[in-house]
Amino acid sequence: DKIIFSIVGNIDYDEAKNIVEKYFSEILDCKFESEESNEIVIKDVENNFVFHKKDENQSKIYILFKSENIYSDKVNPLMLLSVICGVGMCSRFFNELREKLGLAYSCGASTFFAKEFGYFQIFIATSNEKVGSALINIKKILNEISENGVYQHELEIAKTKFKADFVYGMNSVSRQAKNNAKKYHYFKNIPSFEEKMEEIERVTLEDVKKCAKKLFNSKNYVVSVCGNVESVEDIKNAFN
């Protein structure tokens, strides 16, 4: 009584019912009993820190910075900053955290923009014992970018990646429909490919540096860790 099957297509009810019973009968006959959870959740508002203890071999870290809304002129620099930080094998996070220091199985960065606000998200998957070191070094990378900006070749690579992804999206019916709906919803206008590429090309090193400085020096962020970490006290201040 906890599973719903929703089937849409050229099939009648009895045929659908027989298929469900044939392939899911073992699951439907199972009796699930809830077990008492030993998970621990710690919220430290002062340090913008949330910890969820789970008995897993890996820990997942998410860091969210509150960012600009979708109407801001900082949207394009922030998107390129996320690519520089954490998209692909040329990114800072991949090269520093994963390749050089061995502190991450996977890592990345992304952005989200809406009418009222946006956020800049950082993701790291690491071993339980390396959570503290990962947080310390991610903070070092962000401080470095905030103070010194990024390199010209990093910005050019980010622009190329963005353009390639945009072109790929234009060849995907579902992505094109989604992007058109989003743009029209917010702007009542759908910019052409040429207009979007011109916007990206206009972004400068100084634009990216200003965004990074404002974003990464902000205290308006949350660090969320989920995993089997021995000492929460050792990690909750690691990013500060």
| Stronger pLDDT, 44 or 228, i.e. the higher one | 228
CA atoms within 13 A on the CB side of 123: 11
| Phi then psi dihedrals of residue 144, to 5 deg | -60, -45
Give pLDDT tens digits for 186-200: 998 988 889 999 999
| Region 130-149 average pLDDT | 95
Q: pLDDT at position 219, please? A: 87
- Rounded to the nearest integer, the mean pLDDT of the chain is 89
Q: How confident is residue 139, by pLDDT bands cut at 50, 70 and 90? A: very high
| Region 87-113 average pLDDT | 95
- pTM, rounded to two decimals: 0.80
Residues 70 and 54: their CA atoms lie apart, in Å, by 35
Q: pLDDT at position 97, please? A: 96
- Token pair of 39 as six digits: 């998970």
Residues 105 and 127: their CA atoms lie apart, in Å, by 8
Pairing outcome for strands 58-67 and 106-113: unpaired
102-141 exposure pattern, b = at least 16 Cβ within 10 A, e = fewer? ebbeebbbebebeeeebbbbbbbbbbeebbbbbbebbbeb
The answer to whether residues 90 and 153 touch, using CB atoms and an 8 Å cutoff, is no
pLDDT at 1 over 70: no
